[in-house]
Structure 1
Amino acid sequence: MEHSIKKVGLVSRYPPVHCGVAEYTKMVVSALRSLNPRLEVYVFSTDEAGNEAWQDELGVHVIPCYPRFASDYSMLLNALSEVSVDVLHLQHEYGIYGMGREVINALSKAKEEGLAKKTVVTMHTVDHPYTERKDTLKFQASLNSVDAVIVHSPLQEFELQIQGVEAPRLHRIPHGTLINPYLCYTRSYLAKSLGLQDEFSGVVLAVPGFLRRDKGIDVLLDALEMLRDMRFTLLIAGESKDPKVHDLVSASTSAKTIIMEKYLSSDEILRVVALADAIVLPYRDRHGAYAVSGILHLSMGGLKPIVGSRTPRLVELYQFAPRLTVPPGEPGELARKIAWLVENYDYAVAYMTELYGYAARTQWIRMAHRHLKLYQNLLTCSSI
């Protein structure tokens, strides 16, 4: 007998908290509600934005019930006792939930007490044995205690499989993509909507997203120093997460650089991408970690050329547009690739066709359908 899914609970950060996982969860929820408006969705969130429960514009019940890096999830279980859900789905990131098993134990207890029929974990970051934070490997060894584990890339899937997570429990569902709704707007309109003057010259290169050391901003600035004779405008747009990166960006005196140093919502990032001619993602590899870039997917939806480094977070770019990737930490290589892009822009647009096709195939509505199908299969089967 098929069990129809009626209630889903997501354990995750959620806007207005400034976080990529929070934005990801809202995108998933929006698509789930579009597919099934009668689906009740509860987000059991951190208390970073306050302790009061509320209902957002999507009809999602947001219940703050634990702090970041919590060691006690009794308030989560108390909240679940009021609503109980068919599927309890954790959006896990080590920077939110830490490396301990407490949150996994809470999921197991929720199932034991009948507060959730099935439990699911999405691993936004998977560490491999070369990681410097060895406790993450112990956490990953505990994933067989949940009903399903979702990952975003084959690298993550096979790493967990090698570490002993049972293969039938693993499900690869790519990060969702939103086809940019601002592509038909003029650059002047988009600049004004972002509070910018329309002072762009040449090719506009954008670097959107949080400004951290692993984003390779220093490498990009060094690369552009080698391209002083080229007509371009660099738009750096995002909230600084590191004082050293803030100082580096602030010290840029190039008239070709425009800086928007503030938190950008997904909607604002979409406008930045639509305004640009190309996106540059000169990321460094995070030592011992596999993840997938949400900014890459926001950029893919803009149907613009993307130049990026060959790192695990950008594995999809390397897979579908390898000629536009460069080794990480190599400003000379990056400068040559940007120069090639500017000189061969129309060819670069055509070359990206395969990546654009991937963007269409991974639209949020499609990825939400795969989530719903997984939930339904878990409820239908007594075990995986």
Structure 2
Amino acid sequence: MGSAVLLAPAFPEYCWNYANALAERMPVTLFCNRVLFQSEVGEAGAINGRVQLRLVEYGTPGTILRVLREVVRLRPDFVHFQEATGRRAAAVNAVLTMLLKGRTRTVLTVHDPKPHSGNDSPIAAKTWPLRNAVRQRADVAVLHGAFCSALYDSMGRPASQQLLTSVHGTILGPSSAQRLAPSPGQFLFFGRMEAYKGLDVLASSLELLRSRGRLLRVIVAGSGPELQRLGPRLSASGAEIIDKYLSRDETIELMQRSEAVLVPYKDATQSGVVAAAFANGRTVIASRVGGLSDAVVDGLNGILIEPNAPEALAQAMLTLADAPARAAALRAGAEAAAAGALNWNTIVENLLSDLRVLPTGR
């Protein structure tokens, strides 16, 4: 293969890691949302000399022109889109896939085949016509895990479109200087605080533990409507609340200081939180919903529990707090997953192998 153009209206660190691994094998040009890249990657994105990074205001006509010029100049083997979440970025993707159809192979990574419950659903509904246009035009669709692939396939994939199942690679990986020993019995719940993430399940679990005289150190960090609603309950049960948007370094430090990351989601497709936890060598306690069980292997790199089950979550936390050897074994499993299936070099090798045997779509 000769070269690739990558388009990243969202998921900047994911795309940066993908671009760096792909650039070990071919020239890569990455168009990335300027604001998101600078806020989420920043100094962590040391330019390696192989990736041609183009920071753009993604939702503008100028982005369309810049991408088209690059495609004409490079004649890449494929142009790889990340599905957009905002209206203007989704419009840019829709126009570009229309103009590039038949001129080069177009690949689309879909992170969430269906939107999460809660605030994400009405936002996704507004952009659905644009996002669906891109889905219908892409030559190849890439999904994370068997669950997401099956869900996407059931939503009306074009008969001519090739479907590839991949893995959500590691993000928020620590530098050697950032690595710390975990604090025994400390747990972390972090990210956007939306209803589907099960923060109420955690609140009920902590109340159960408190009623039994067990107080575990739990940090709840991030921002969103559920934290506003449930913050008093969590605080009353002993949780430490960090109500703010976390920087990359702050998130890594909190994961490094914790024994495990809590993912008691009520519904899910795939999860960047799991990929981030494994990148930091931290095990997870996760619900057996959606695509979480594609990444989390119960008893090997994490503990899977039933959704909406405060008792099960409480027991899993006690298991790790009271059995240091088991907690260490699960952390080792998480590190192995990060170095193996979730390693970006492995992901890129598998993706390129699949693309080589598919029709070009031109």
Aligned pair in 2 of structure 1 residues 155, 268: CA closer, same or farther (>3 Å)? same
Q: CA–CA distance in 1 between the matches of 2:63 and 2:88?
A: 16
Query: Which of 291, 295, 299 in structure 1 is aligned with 2:273?
Result: 295
Q: Does 1:211 align with 2:189?
A: no
Q: Deviation at 1:177?
A: 2.0
Q: CA–CA distance in 2 between the matches of 1:66 and 1:39?
A: 25
Aligned pair in 2 of structure 1 residues 102, 25: CA closer, same or farther (>3 Å)? closer
Q: 2:318 aligns to what SS in structure 1?
A: helix
Q: Deviation at 1:307?
A: 1.0
Q: CA–CA distance in 2 between the matches of 1:11 and 1:207?
A: 27
Identity value in percent: 19
Aligned pair in 2 of structure 1 residues 183, 81: CA closer, same or farther (>3 Å)? closer
The RMSD of aligned alpha carbons is: 3.8
Aligned pair in 2 of structure 1 residues 264, 234: CA closer, same or farther (>3 Å)? same
Q: In structure 1, what residue type is equivalent to 2:207? A: E
Q: Deviation at 1:171?
A: 0.9
Aligned pair in 2 of structure 1 residues 352, 272: CA closer, same or farther (>3 Å)? closer
Within a 5 Å distance, the mapping from 1:154-233 to structure 2 comes to 154-165=146-157, 166=159, 169-177=162-170, 180-181=174-175, 185-186=179-180, 203-228=185-210, 229-233=213-217
Q: Does 1:258 align with 2:240?
A: yes
Gaps of 5+ in 2: 39-44
Measured against aligned partners, the alpha-carbon deviations of 1:163-199 in whole angstroms (never above 9, x if no partner) come to: 4434871111101025644598446xx9xxxxxxxxx
Equivalent in the alignment of 1:152 = 144
Q: Does 1:63 align with 2:63?
A: no
Query: Which of 340, 347, 351 in structure 2 is aligned with 1:367?
Result: 347
Aligned pair in 2 of structure 1 residues 320, 354: CA closer, same or farther (>3 Å)? farther
Q: Does 1:330 align with 2:306?
A: no
Q: Deviation at 1:273?
A: 1.4
Aligned pair in 2 of structure 1 residues 261, 272: CA closer, same or farther (>3 Å)? same
Measured against aligned partners, the alpha-carbon deviations of 1:86-116 in whole angstroms (never above 9, x if no partner) come to: 13221114x335998873353121345x5xx
Q: CA–CA distance in 2 between the matches of 1:344 and 1:66?
A: 50
Q: CA–CA distance in 1 between the matches of 2:260 and 2:349?
A: 30
Aligned pair in 2 of structure 1 residues 32, 272: CA closer, same or farther (>3 Å)? farther
Query: Which of 2, 5, 27 in structure 2 is aligned with 1:4?
Result: 2
Contact 1:47 1:66 in 2 (8 A): no
Contact 1:306 1:324 in 2 (8 A): yes
Q: 1:292 aligns to what SS in structure 2?
A: coil
Q: 1:298 aligns to what SS in structure 2?
A: helix
Gaps of 5+ in 1: 14-20, 51-55, 68-73, 191-199
Aligned pair in 2 of structure 1 residues 97, 31: CA closer, same or farther (>3 Å)? farther
Q: Deviation at 1:294?
A: 0.4
Q: Does 1:344 align with 2:342?
A: no
Aligned pair in 2 of structure 1 residues 48, 11: CA closer, same or farther (>3 Å)? closer
Contact 1:46 1:66 in 2 (8 A): no
Aligned pair in 2 of structure 1 residues 98, 374: CA closer, same or farther (>3 Å)? farther
Query: Which of 14, 17, 30 in structure 2 is aligned with 1:27?
Result: 17
Contact 1:320 1:354 in 2 (8 A): no
Contact 1:177 1:363 in 2 (8 A): yes
Contact 1:215 1:284 in 2 (8 A): yes
Q: Deviation at 1:204?
A: 0.8
Q: Deviation at 1:317?
A: 4.7
Q: Does 1:122 align with 2:100?
A: no
Q: CA–CA distance in 2 between the matches of 1:302 and 1:183?
A: 12
> Given the two structures, how large is their TM-score scaled by the length of structure 2?
0.77
Contact 2:2 2:27 in 1 (8 A): no
Q: 1:226 aligns to what SS in structure 2?
A: helix
Equivalent in the alignment of 2:221 = 237
Q: Deviation at 1:157?
A: 1.4
Q: CA–CA distance in 2 between the matches of 1:271 and 1:221?
A: 23
Number of residues of Structure 1 aligned to a counterpart in Structure 2: 338
